[in-house]
Amino acid sequence: MNLDFPDRAAFDRVDLVGELPLHVVGHIEDAEPGSSVVIIVNERVAGIAETFADSLHPARFTALLDSAAFHPGSNLVRFAVLR
């Protein structure tokens, strides 16, 4: 899966008292519009989004994540595409 997720570094330095990286935006090169993207944070499903086409990318996604999935410090973020 070729996924562009520009804010990945924000998950490396999470401060639960400060601002959390709850809004995730990206695109997947090899997915179709209407594909489901599952965002997993620390082995917990934190959000689900549906891809959509825009003027730059055929499969862009945006999601709001569940803050309960985070812990202080570095957080593991993974993505899965359901077709």
- Residue found under tokens 């993974």: 78
Rounded Cα distance between 76 and 44, Å, is 10
Residue span of the structural domain in which 65 resides: 3-82
Number of structural domains found in the chain: 1
**Using one digit for the tens of pLDDT, what is the confidence trace for 31-48?**
889 999 999 999 999 999
Rounded percentage of the chain residues whose pLDDT exceeds 90: 77
For residue 2, pLDDT beyond 80: no
